[in-house]
Structure formats: structure tokens, C-alpha cells
Amino acid sequence: MAVVGVLALQGSYNEHMSALRRIGVKGVEVRKPEQLQGLDSLIIPGGESTTMAKLANYHNLFPALREFVGAGKPVWGTCAGLIFLANKAVGQKLGGQELVGGLDCTVHRNFFGSQLQSFETELSVPMLADKEGGSNTCRGVFIRAPAILEVGSDVEILAECPVPSGRPSITIPSAEGVEEEVYSKDRVIVAVRQGSILATAFHPELTSDCRWHRFFLDMDKESHPKAFSALSLSSSSRGSEGGSKTKPFDLPIFE
């Protein structure tokens, strides 16, 4: 059976775990490099990317994560996870932060600004409706969200979002910090796929729409169809590890 890892250093890993539970898939929390072994795919959740990078560093997770991505196993990053997967990020803290890389794009770490500029919108994602059915749009919750400024040629753009009007101009610090450039387009990329890597700037795990999670699992199926045939709705028989005394309680989904 396929086992989906969720990087559980900090952030919305509980939400991803419960989204996986809702669609009947076993999720495993990953905090140490050895826990990546035996996983078929990995979700890197939202959270504070600097915090997650620090914690990953303390336990020497970066080499193992790079190896996992390099092996072509499906990986999905939401928000902070997108930053982790990008080859290049701008607008980082002083001294920068370590990235996993693998996704050929440039990410602006805090494109949409601070919490007061956080927002929710209906995103048009025709691909999602094609593959998983349902409506052409999905709920996009953007929390201090990043955005994708540029993508390489083999990156497929899945969704774009209008840049909120009435925002102060968004500057893009160049790599050397010498000159700043103002973002002039009125739309910005917020969801992409490159081979086995999926990345979203928003948080499907905060909504009741499980289609992104299903889509991600289908990517896994594409990559090795046989191993997958007998999966789903499994009673999580093996390794009912650690926290067996009580099932964790989930936060409600805010509509």
C-alpha cells in the first residue's frame, strides 16, 4: 500500500494528515531522515518556511529530502513547502535559508504581504476539474502567501491568481539586493507541476475540497501503477504507532 509522508516539523501537518484520513489514505509524520524510508510520496505542509528550514537543518534532513525529490517520488509543497521545493527564492530573511530545490522556478517568499493582506478567493483550475471532477474552481486560502514569479520551460502552470488591486507595489529584491524591481503583471502563478513535483502557494488542506490531495495521490499512481492497485480505504493495520492512546482531534474546517 502507498504510504504518504507528511513533513511534521512545524505548520499545518495536522491538517494534511486529516485531509488524508478523509480520503482514506494512510499518512505518516516525518521528523527525521530515516522516517523518509519506505515512503511513496511526501507532502511538505504550510508553516513558517524559515522555522521549517532551521528544524530540517538541526536534524540533517536536507540531504535526505533532496534524495527523495531526486528519486522522482511525488512531492507536494503547500505555501512554505512550495518555497522549500523552489530552486530559487527571493525575499528571504537576512542570510537566506536553505532550500530543497528541484522545482525550476523563482518564488517570492512573501509576495502577498503580511497577515492583513491574507485573503481567500475562488481560483480557476480547469485541470483539477478535468482530472478529479467537480467545479472549475477551487477555494484558495492564501496566508502570508508566496507566489511564483518565473517558471522554467518544463513546468506546467496549473493556476494563476489576480494580483490584489490597491496593494502597494510589490518589489522584487534581486539576488544581490542591489536593485529592486516592481512586479508589473496583473496575474501571478500560484500552482504548478513539474513531473512528480506539485506545488501550491495556497492551502488546500484548510478546505474541505480533497481534490488536490486526490490529484497528488494520482500522480503517485502514474509513477508506479502496479504497486498501487490494492490501495485505498485500507484499515491502517501496520504500525499504529506512538499516539495510539487517542486519535488526534481535528480543528473544524472554516467555510
Partner 1 sequence: MASDGSGVVTVYGSGNNGAGTQLEPKSSPFSVKVGLAQMLRGGVIMDVVNAEQARIAEEAGACAVMALERVPADIRAQGGVARMSDPGLIREIKRAVTIPVMAKARIGHFVEAQILESIGVDYVDESEVLTLADDAHHINKHNFRVPFVCGCRNLGEALRRIREGAAMIRTKGEAGTGNVIEAVRHVRSVMGDVRALRSMDDDEVFTYAKSIAAPYDLVMQTKQLGRLPVVQFAAGGVATPADAALMMQLGCDGVFVGSGVFKSGDPARRARAIVQAVTHYSDPNVLAEVSCDLGEAMVGINLSDPKVERFAARSE
Nearer to partner 1, 51 or 106 (CB): 51
Should residue 2 be labelled a site residue for partner 1 when binding is judged by CB under 8 A? no
Q: How many CB atoms lie within 10 A of CB 118?
A: 13
Instruction: Single out the segment in contact with partner 1 by CB under 8 A; choices: 36-44, 90-98, 123-131, 180-188.
Output: 90-98
Burial of 13 (0-12, 13-18, 19+ CB in 10 A): buried
Q: CA–CA separation, 123 vs 86, rounded Å?
A: 22
**219-248 binders of partner 1 (CB under 8 A):** 242-243
For the chain, the maximum distance between any two Cα atoms, rounded to a whole number of angstroms, is: 56
Nearer to partner 1, 4 or 83 (CB): 83
Active site residue 255: no
The Cα-based distances of 235 to 9, 211, 240 in angstroms read: 26, 21, 10
Min. distance of Cβ 248 from partner 1 in angstroms? 9
187-194 vs 180-182, strand pairing mode: unpaired
Should residue 123 be labelled a site residue for partner 1 when binding is judged by CB under 8 A? no
Q: CA–CA separation, 212 vs 6, rounded Å?
A: 15
Should residue 168 be labelled a site residue for partner 1 when binding is judged by CB under 8 A? no
Please give the annotated binding residues, written as ranges.
47-49, 109, 143-144
Instruction: Single out the segment in contact with partner 1 by CB under 8 A; choices: 139-147, 187-195, 212-220, 232-240.
Output: 139-147
136: cell is 472549475
Should residue 116 be labelled a site residue for partner 1 when binding is judged by CB under 8 A? yes
Min. distance of Cβ 3 from partner 1 in angstroms? 20
Contact 101, 85 (CB under 8 A): yes
CA dihedral in degrees (98, 102, 105, 107; nearest 10)?
Answer: -30
Instruction: Single out the segment in contact with partner 1 by CB under 8 A; choices: 48-56, 171-179, 187-195, 229-237.
Output: 48-56
Contact 191, 158 (CB under 8 A): yes
Should residue 249 be labelled a site residue for partner 1 when binding is judged by CB under 8 A? yes
Should residue 165 be labelled a site residue for partner 1 when binding is judged by CB under 8 A? no
Contact 202, 160 (CB under 8 A): no
Active site residue 156: no
Which residues are annotated as catalytic? 79, 203, 205
Interaction site with partner 1 (CB under 8 A): 8-15, 31, 46-48, 50-51, 54-55, 58, 79-80, 91-95, 109-110, 114-116, 118-120, 141-144, 203, 206, 242-243, 249-252, 254-255
